[in-house]
Amino acid sequence: MLRPSGLKVIEGGVTAPLGFKAAGVHAGLKKEKLDLALLTSEVPAAAAAVYTKNKVKAAPLMVTREHLKHGYARAVVVNSGNANACTGEQGLRDARFMAEVTAAVLHIPVREVVVASTGVIGVPLPMDKVEAGIRAAAANLSREGGVAAAEAILTTDTCTKEVAVALELGGRTVHIGAMAKGSGMIHPNMATMLAFLTTDLRLEPEILQRALSAVTEKTFNMVTVDGDTSTNDMVVILANGLAGNASLSVEEHACFREALEFVCCRLARMIARDGEGATKLIEVQVYNAPSEADARRLARAVAGSNLVKAAVFGADANWGRIITAAGYSGAEMNPERVDIYLASRAGREQVAANGAGLPFSEERAAAILAEEEITIILDLKLGSARATAWGCDLTYDYVRINAAYRT
């Protein structure tokens, strides 16, 4: 999406807002890389979250959902390298112990601790390493620690994913910061990744929850890498109010939601671009659909089609795969009215009109598809609704990575 008016992209990631500190340490859950992150707020923060819809839910997610019922949190502890999923009662005890240790070292109530894990499913956590990691992270908290925290939550990701912005709301400059991880097991059904957002804006938990839920539908729920929805994943936002803003007007609430959507959209694109083995980002834009729900459904189907993803990898302008995915998406459409375009920095080429092929230039289309960011555009000509989804190409490396994930 376009940057909202008055919004400035700034440095700092998840610790850009006032009152937040973070740290990332190597606890020994992974061989060498950072694998435990801690994020804290100086004061209790309004909290909201969305969770995976997979019926198999990891222990940390269940503990976090229980803690956030009262709407406030002050710390987030995350480990990578082990999902603590499908680990039974021991897994629940371990997730609760992570919260207890975090609460003890920070001198805060246990219910103000968010717990998250990511990694291999079905393996118990080595709690001696986790506890030592939490204590080490607590001793290294700083405003500069966001980068290390963003690194510590990664699994098969090839890069960190951070965003921060500033804008004027309620008579004050307020900030939104974020970090995320996500590369595989990514499919739109919330949450499909881990993402942690912070803001120094003062908002009530109910308002924060409505904003996060609405924005998630347009951003994180429009990302697909491989069609697999994970067991652990969540998006959490904390708002600690330290910007000292006055109550927001209706217009300012809308501005905050736009800014939040901008941040989440940036993260969503980063996750899609960093899909396991990916060489290209695919953005699918659907225009003039009968409803937004139809536009979203169709965009997700095209972005998630393995045949479309493979064609993009090979720079093959096989538009038949695009309209086929649109047809099975379940969205309301008339195949005889659909126009299809391919676009990138190399140009724009229409490949179909009213559901039929055009004598397009194969050379120009191949040049478009050879770029690292590809846009597929579908004009349904049935209404005025639109939506955008993000995915990536399907490469040989995806199979290589996932054939040896545990080893």
**CA 219, 222, 227, 230 torsion: positive or negative?**
positive
Q: What pLDDT does residue 184 have? A: 52
pLDDT in tens, 186-234: 454 443 479 999 999 999 999 999 999 999 999 998 887 655 566 778 9
Mean pLDDT over residues 82-107, rounded? Answer: 97
Mean pLDDT over residues 362-379, rounded? Answer: 97
Q: How far is residue 83's CA from residue 124's CA, in Å, rounded to a whole number?
A: 9
* 125 compared with 188, residue with greater pLDDT: 125
The rounded mean pLDDT for the chain is: 92
Q: What is the pTM of this model?
A: 0.88
Give kind and range of the element (H or E) at residue 284: strand 281-289
**Per-residue pLDDT at 83 exceeds 80:** yes
Set 15, 64, 102, 192: catalytic member? 192
Mean pLDDT over residues 14-30, rounded? Answer: 97
Mean pLDDT over residues 84-102, rounded? Answer: 97
Q: How far is residue 193's CA from residue 241's CA, in Å, rounded to a whole number?
A: 26
**Per-residue pLDDT at 305 exceeds 60:** yes
Give kind and range of the element (H or E) at residue 133: helix 127-139
Percent of the chain with pLDDT strictly greater than 70: 95
Q: What pLDDT does residue 153 have? A: 96
Indicate the range of 155-169, 189-203, 270-284, 318-332 predicted with least confidence. 189-203
Mark whether 15 is an active-site residue.
no
Q: What pLDDT does residue 406 have? A: 60
Sheet holding 339-344, edge to edge: 356-357, 347-353, 339-344, 373-379, 281-289, 385-392
Q: What pLDDT does residue 190 have? A: 40
